[in-house]
Amino acid sequence: MTATVNVVCYKSKTLSNGEHPLMLRIIKDRKIRYQSLGISIHPDYWDFTKNKPKPNCPNRDFIIKITLDKELEYQRQILELRADDKEFTASTLMTSKTKREIKSVSKFYEEMIEEFKLLLKLGNSQVYKSSYNSLKSFTDKKLDIPFSHIDVEFLKKYEMWLREKNLKETTISIAFRTLKSVYNKAIQSKYAKKNLYPFEDFKTSKFNIKTRKRAISKDLIIQIMNLDLSAKSWYMNFSRDMFIFSYLCGGINMTDIVDSIIITVNISQY
């Protein structure tokens, strides 16, 4: 059964000044619950047919604002409970204190970046900061939005924007994988809804991030080993020898080779 939420003038109770309290009324499964708004009104100033203050009511605008804010608060809570497939009654809705806090994409990013800094994970902090700055640039600094705004259409436009900047496929892939990670963390923290998760349809695996093979063939290595450099300078021969030595040692880094030479020279001096 649909739940209804509205504010009524509670005629069953009359205050000493002749006014009636304004009460929030919730009806669900034929059960009715009331909650006081902390304000009252004289019955002469209340339209009982339209359930709102009459035009001549003192502080009419203030009363309308209070009633609308309270009605919207509970209507929003009902929508969120239904979106999460959670059961509720008029009583539990009235007494519930667990309302979902709304946190913008911008705010969530900033908190994550700061958390990584505190944990001294500076590499992660930089990756998320780059993603954050990219999204801010894409949205023209209008990233103060809920995660529900990041849908498939948003992601498609973001991809086109990145490609128009002639970025490499790997860079684009990192941008989307980072955004996907942030969205997943937001779902875990209850700041985003799982049923609105856009990466079920927008696949980040489509980006081609295979590294082009740069290894040279064994035959070419043999040609380099047998190359006659007798007419060349000592430096040319030494460079070839270091390259061949690195190759035969399984691709040892040149820096490690230099360090080994320095250590050997120092030991030989003793």
Tell me, yes or no, whether 211 lies in a domain: no
Q: Are residues 198 and 114 in the same domain?
A: yes
Ramachandran sector of residue 29 (left: φ over 0; alpha: ψ -120 to 50; beta: rest): left
Cβ neighbors of 13 (< 8 A, separation 6 or more) are: 20, 21
Report how far residue 16's alpha carbon sits from residue 205's, in angstroms, rounded to the nearest whole number: 70
How far CA 190 is from CA of 181, 239, 252, in Å, comes to: 14, 59, 48
66, 95, 124 — which closes off a domain?
Answer: 95
Ramachandran sector of residue 211 (left: φ over 0; alpha: ψ -120 to 50; beta: rest): beta
CATH number at residue 194: 1.10.150
Tell me, yes or no, whether 194 lies in a domain: yes
Q: Are residues 238 and 162 in the same domain?
A: no
Our count of domains for the chain comes to: 3
Q: Are residues 84 and 18 in the same domain?
A: yes
- What range defines the domain where residue 244 resides? 218-268
Report how far residue 107's alpha carbon sits from residue 117's, in angstroms, rounded to the nearest whole number: 16
Residue 126: other Cβ atoms inside 10 A: 13
Tell me, yes or no, whether 100 lies in a domain: no
Q: Are residues 51 and 22 in the same domain?
A: yes
How many C-alpha atoms does 1 have within 13 Å on its Cβ side? 12
pLDDT at 74: 85
Q: Are residues 26 and 91 in the same domain?
A: yes
171, 206, 241 — which closes off a domain?
Answer: 206
Residues of the chain with pLDDT under 50: 98-99
181, 206, 231 — which closes off a domain?
Answer: 206
Tell me, yes or no, whether 178 lies in a domain: yes
Tell me, yes or no, whether 243 lies in a domain: yes
Report how far residue 8's alpha carbon sits from residue 2's, in angstroms, rounded to the nearest whole number: 19
pLDDT at 39: 86
> Which backbone phi and psi does 58 adopt, to 5 degrees?
-65, 145
pLDDT at 99: 47
CB 93 within 8 A of CB 28: yes
How far CA 170 is from CA of 164, 205, 207, 212, in Å, comes to: 15, 11, 8, 12
Q: Are residues 15 and 79 in the same domain?
A: yes
Q: Are residues 127 and 77 in the same domain?
A: no
Question: What is this structure's pTM?
Answer: 0.47
Report how far residue 100's alpha carbon sits from residue 222's, in angstroms, rounded to the nearest whole number: 67
Beta strands in 138-189 (DSSP E): none
Ramachandran sector of residue 95 (left: φ over 0; alpha: ψ -120 to 50; beta: rest): alpha
Q: Are residues 133 and 225 in the same domain?
A: no
Q: Are residues 196 and 235 in the same domain?
A: no
pLDDT at 266: 63
